[in-house]
Structure 1
Amino acid sequence: MVSIYELKPKFQQLLRPLVRGLAKIGVTANFVTISAAVLSVALGILLLLYPSYNWIILLVPAFLFFRMMLNAIDGMLAREHKMESSLGSILNELGDIVSDAAIYLPFALILDTSSAFVVSLVVLALVTEVTGILGTVIGGSRRYDGPMGKSDRAFAFGVLSLLIYFFSFPTVIYTIVIAALLLLLILTTFNRANRALKEVQS
């Protein structure tokens, strides 16, 4: 199914001049990866401390786009500038999981819907990423299948943040949105597991 992840090659092409410049001044892929995680945790703490300060939520869509840039940059630095390492692979996967949890869990306090519902969404998002990693465990590739991968979740929460700030919807609307995201995550988990199995069996 279609995923924003499919736009990654074009996004990388736009970032390539910046990546070359960063490599020239000695910026490493691991530094970028760690920076993205640290900044994500900082934003998450800010959201947790001030869940009722609506203006803070406007930082979310801007930061999620910035984080997508950092995620693309660290990968390009690693692959195109000979910075790949086992440590880098571990940091990349852990960084994504920590960053997602840090940014999305505060929505349990912010959204006008069941907190448990939102926490379940975040947990399932992490399960989706672990399922993608398991593709390598069984001898295949890291799976990034959609329809609700990392980039898609960032887009969804970015839009959700804007809706929260600019509009006032009843609880049922947010409940429906979270339910839809949960269903998409379940489908994504199934797709990744199914395609990983087909890959190793072919």
Structure 2
Amino acid sequence: MRGLYALKPWYTNRLASVLRFAVARDVSPDVFTAVGVVSALGAGVAIAFGSWIIALVLLAGRLAGANLDGAVARAQGVSRPWGFVLNELGDRAGDLAMFAGLAVLAARTDSLDWGTGWVLVAAVCATLPTFASLSGAGAGAQRLNGGPFGKTERCAAVVVATVVPAWIPVISVVIVVGSLVTTALRLRSIHRVLSTAPAGPASTSAGTP
């Protein structure tokens, strides 16, 4: 179940002209990582003030940056481990900015503060699918992305919550449940892959005596 992540190739194709320009001008993939982060920061501010149209445009920019950094790196043949690190840090910063803006909007519009509390819970749960994927990648499995409730779904949910702030608690619950289900499905896939992989050296994560 890939969710809206299945649309990534389609979205990347819409950005083909930008990709060709970046390759022709030898633009660093890190530029697009930075564009994604800056767009997410701007979206966080827009969300905090309830400007959902601006938030929608900037979150689309965030997703564009996240799509293009990897696409440009592959097209230029410069994929590198440090680029992976920057991409992951950029994604986490983008999520943090988005949920921070939603928490501010909830605090401004929810007299009972239920929305703010649920946004904070949702922000924590939204990190779990990534933790599962990175843990699996560290153990030798493929880095998993997508749904049923991944980054694209989180962006869409936050935009809806910005349009109708009264729905923030309900949408936050949806994010919590969706994130937990996604985490469970990713862990199941990772377990299936790792359980059939050849045994490697014993882990030394516990330290040396």
TM-score (norm. length: structure 1): 0.85
2:174 corresponding residue in structure 1: 180
How many residue pairs match? The answer is 190
User: Counterpart amino acid of 2:134?
Assistant: I
| 2:8 partner amino acid | K
The equivalent of 2:138 in structure 1 is 137
- Asked whether 1:81 is paired with 2:82, we answer no
Q: CA deviation at 1:2?
A: 4.8
For residue 94 of structure 2, what is the aligned residue in structure 1?
99
CA distance in 2, matches of 1:4, 1:76: 18
Per-residue deviation, residues 11-52 of structure 1 (Å, max 9, x unmatched)? 2222223201122122110121123213423443x359xx4x
Asked if the contact 1:58–1:161 (Cα under 8 Å) also holds between the matched residues in 2, the reply is no
Q: Give % identity.
A: 23
Indicate the structure (1 or 2) with the bigger Cα radius of gyration.
2
Residue type at the aligned position of 2:83: G
Q: Matched residues in 2 for 1:12 and 1:42: separation?
A: 22
2:205 alignment partner in structure 1: none
Instruction: Please provide the CA RMSD for this pair.
Output: 1.9
Structure with more relative contact order (C-alpha pairs < 8 Å, separation 6 or more): 1
- 8 A Cα contact 1:34 1:91, kept in partner: no
Identify the residue that residue 21 of structure 1 maps to in structure 2: 21
Using the alignment, how far apart are the partners of 1:40 and 1:10 within structure 2? Answer: 21
| Inter-partner Cα distance in structure 2 for 1:28 and 1:128 | 28
TM-score for both structures, normalised by structure 2: 0.82
Does residue 38 (structure 1) correspond to residue 38 (structure 2)? The answer is yes
Give structure 2 stretches of 5+ with no counterpart.
197-209
Q: Which runs of 4+ in 1 moved over 3 A?
A: none
Q: Secondary structure at the match of 1:143?
A: coil
Q: Is the 8 A contact 1:36 1:70 kept in 2?
A: yes
Once the two structures are superposed, residues 120-176 of structure 1 have per-residue CA deviations (whole angstroms, 9 ceiling, x without a partner) of: 111111222121112211111001142110111111112222234xxxx4xxx4322
Q: Which amino acid aligns with 2:33?
A: T
CA distance in 1, matches of 2:138, 2:121: 25
* 1:110 counterpart residue number: 105
Question: Contact 1:68/1:151 (CA < 8 Å) preserved in 2?
Answer: yes
Aligned-pair CA distance for 1:109:
2.1
Q: Secondary structure at 1:144's aligned position in 2?
A: coil
Preserved CA contact (<8 Å) 2:2 2:145:
no
